[in-house]
C-alpha cells in the first residue's frame, strides 16, 4: 500500500505542478483537499484491500497537487503585496506549524477513537479535508505571467507549440544558477528522511520504551523552533549558514558515536539547525524562480527530494546515523555553491 502511495506521488509530482501553473493553483489546492476527503471516505465506508489501494493512489495524487503549489501561492501572494522579503519568515512558521500540529491532532485522534472508534476518526477526517478545500477557495488566484525571462534575456515563447511539462522542466535545465539551487534543495531536503529513524535512534541509545515518544516529541519541537527561526537565519551571511549546516552534521555524528540517552539532546539540536538552513535554502529557490512555472519548478525540487531520500535510506542501511551525518557533510559544498549562485536574468 505504501509503495502504491509513494510511486503515485513520485509520478504525479511534476505533472501536478504543471497543472497548477497552467490551470489554477487555487484549483489544485481545492482538488487536493477533495481528493484526500475521498480517500478517507473510501477507507471508512468500505475498508478493505482494494479500497485502501485505490485510496492510496488518490492520496498520492492529492499530495502531489499540494507539493510546490503551496510555496508558489505563498511566494507570489506575498510578492503581489510587495512583501516577498517576508517569505522566509512565513515559510519558516509554516514548516514549524506542520510539526507542532501533530501534537493536538494526536490528542484529538485519541479522544475520537475512545468515543467512536475507527469510523468516527475517518468521518471527522473527511470533514477536516473538505474544510481545507473550502478554505483554499478563499485564496487569491492571480493569473500567471504570460512569459518569463529566458537565460539570454530574450522573452520565452508562450509554450503553445510545446508540451507544458517538457517546457517547464526544460526551463529549469536551461538556467544554470536556478538548476544548481534546485539540486541543492533536493539534496538538502532529502536529509529530512532521517526523521523516520528518530524513534529507532532513541531506542538504540537506551531511552526507555515508554519515554521514546517523549524524546521524539522533544526532537520535533526543537525542529519546529529551528524552522520558526528560519526568517532570522535568512539574514545571516552565507558562511554562517554553512557553519550551521556543518554543526548540524557534527552534532548528529557526535550523538551517533555517543549513543547514550542524553544524546537525544544533540539529535534535537542537530535537527533544529538543519531545518533552519533548509528553510533558507527553500527561500533562495523561490527567489531565483521567475515567470509562470513556479509551482512546476518547486515540484521538480520536490521530486529531487524524493530521490535524495533514497540515498539517506541507503546510507542508513550501510552505517546508520553516522553514515547519514557523513552524507550531510558531503552536501555542504553543493549548498555553498548554490547560496553564492547569481540570480537568473
Residues 294-329: tens digit of each pLDDT: 999 999 999 999 999 999 999 999 999 999 999 999
Calculate what percentage of the chain has a pLDDT beyond 90. Answer: 78
More confident residue, 199 or 170: 199
Q: What is the pLDDT of residue 179?
A: 87
pLDDT value of position 8: 95
Q: What is the DSSP string of 233-261?
A: HTTS-HHHHHHHHHHHHHHHHHHHHH-ST
What pLDDT, on a 0 to 100 scale, did the predictor assign at position 153?
A: 41
Same fold, 2-136 and 169-336: yes
pLDDT in tens, 95-114: 999 999 988 988 899 899 99
Q: 342 pLDDT exceeds 70?
A: no
Whether 14 contacts 300, CB under 8 Å: yes
The answer to whether 312 touches 327, Cβ cutoff 8 Å, is yes
Three-class DSSP labels, 68-100: CHHHHHHHHHHHHCCCHHHHHHHHHHHHHHHHH
The pLDDT value recorded for residue 345 is: 47
What CA–CA distance (Å, rounded) separates 32 from 45? 20
What percent of the residues of the chain are helix, what percent strand, and what percent coil, each to the nearest 5? 80, 0, 20
The model's pTM: 0.90
What is the average pLDDT value for the chain, to the nearest integer? 89
Pick from 6, 98, 100, 29: which is nearest to 307 by CA? 6
For residue 3, what pLDDT is reported?
86
Beta bridge partners of 155: 149
Q: Which of 172, 104, 148 is nearest to 345 (CA)?
A: 148
pLDDT at position 143 is 53
Query: Hey, where are the domains in the chain?
Result: 2-136, 169-336
User: Residue-wise over 68-87: b if at least 16 C-beta within 10 A, else e?
Assistant: bbbbbbbbbbbbeeeebeeb
DSSP-assigned beta bridge partners for residue 149: 155
Q: What is the band of 339 on the pLDDT scale with cuts at 50, 70, 90?
A: confident
SS3 155: strand
CA 58 centroid distance within chain? 19
- Note the pLDDT of residue 164: 53
The answer to whether 282 touches 181, Cβ cutoff 8 Å, is no
Assess whether pLDDT exceeds 80 at residue 338: yes
User: Which one is the CATH code of 169-336: 1.20.1250.20, 3.40.190.10, 1.20.120.1200, 3.50.50.60?
Assistant: 1.20.1250.20
- Return d(Cα 126, Cα 231) in angstroms, integer: 34
Q: What are the pLDDT digits (tens) for 227-254?
A: 999 999 999 999 999 999 999 999 999 9
For the chain, what percent of residues have pLDDT higher than 70?
89
Reported as a pLDDT band with limits 50, 70 and 90, residue 187 is: very high
Q: Which residues of 94-106 are buried (b: 16+ CB within 10 A; e: fewer)?
A: bbbeebbeeeeee
Are 26 and 136 in contact, with CB atoms under 8 Å apart? yes
CATH number, domain 2-136:
1.20.1250
Q: How far is the C-alpha of 112 from the C-alpha of 222, rounded, in Å?
A: 28
Report residue 78 as a C-alpha cell.
506575498
Amino acid at each position: 500500500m505504501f509503495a502504491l502511495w509513494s510511486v503515485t506521488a513520485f509520478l504525479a509530482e511534476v505533472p501536478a505542478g504543471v497543472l497548477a501553473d497552467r490551470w489554477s493553483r487555487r484549483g489544485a489546492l481545492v482538488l487536493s483537499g477533495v481528493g484526500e476527503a475521498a480517500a478517507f471516505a473510501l477507507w471508512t465506508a468500505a475498508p478493505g484491500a482494494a479500497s485502501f489501494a485505490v485510496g492510496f493512489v488518490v492520496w498520492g495524487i492529492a499530495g502531489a497537487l499540494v507539493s510546490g503549489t503551496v510555496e508558489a501561492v505563498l511566494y507570489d501572494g506575498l510578492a503581489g503585496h510587495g512583501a516577498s522579503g517576508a517569505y522566509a519568515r512565513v515559510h519558516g512558521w509554516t514548516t514549524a506549524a506542520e510539526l507542532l500540529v501533530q501534537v493536538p491532532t494526536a490528542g484529538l485522534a485519541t479522544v475520537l477513537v475512545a468515543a467512536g472508534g475507527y469510523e468516527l476518526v475517518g468521518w471527522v477526517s473527511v470533514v477536516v479535508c473538505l474544510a481545507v478545500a473550502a478554505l483554499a477557495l478563499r485564496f487569491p488566484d492571480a493569473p500567471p505571467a504570460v512569459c518569463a525571462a529566458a537565460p539570454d534575456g530574450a522573452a520565452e515563447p508562450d509554450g503553445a507549440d510545446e508540451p507544458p511539462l517538457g517546457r517547464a522542466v526544460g526551463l529549469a535545465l536551461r538556467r544554470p544558477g536556478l538548476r544548481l539551487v534546485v539540486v541543492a534543495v533536493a539534496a538538502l531536503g532529502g536529509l529530512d528522511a532521517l526523521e523516520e529513524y528518530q524513534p529507532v535512534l532513541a531506542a538504540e541509545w537506551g531511552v526507555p520504551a515508554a519515554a521514546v515518544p517523549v524524546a521524539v516529541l522533544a526532537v520535533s519541537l526543537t525542529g519546529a523552533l529551528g524552522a520558526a527561526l528560519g526568517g532570522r537565519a535568512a539574514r545571516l551571511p552565507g558562511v554562517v549558514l554553512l557553519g550551521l549546516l556543518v554543526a548540524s552534521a557534527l552534532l548528529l555524528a557526535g550523538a551517533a558515536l555517543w549513543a547514550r540517552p542524553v544524546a537525544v539532546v544533540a539529535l534535537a539540536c542537530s535537527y533544529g539547525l538543519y531545518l533552519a538552513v533548509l528553510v533558507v535554502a527553500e527561500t533562495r529557490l523561490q527567489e531565483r524562480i521567475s515567470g509562470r512555472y513556479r509551482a512546476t519548478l518547486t515540484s521538480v525540487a520536490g521530486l529531487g527530494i524524493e530521490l535524495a531520500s533514497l540515498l539517506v535510506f541507503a546510507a542508513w542501511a550501510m552505517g546508520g546515523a553516522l553514515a547519514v551525518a557523513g552524507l550531510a557533510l558531503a552536501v555542504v559544498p553543493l549548498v555553498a555553491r548554490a547560496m553564492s549562485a547569481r540570480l537568473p536574468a
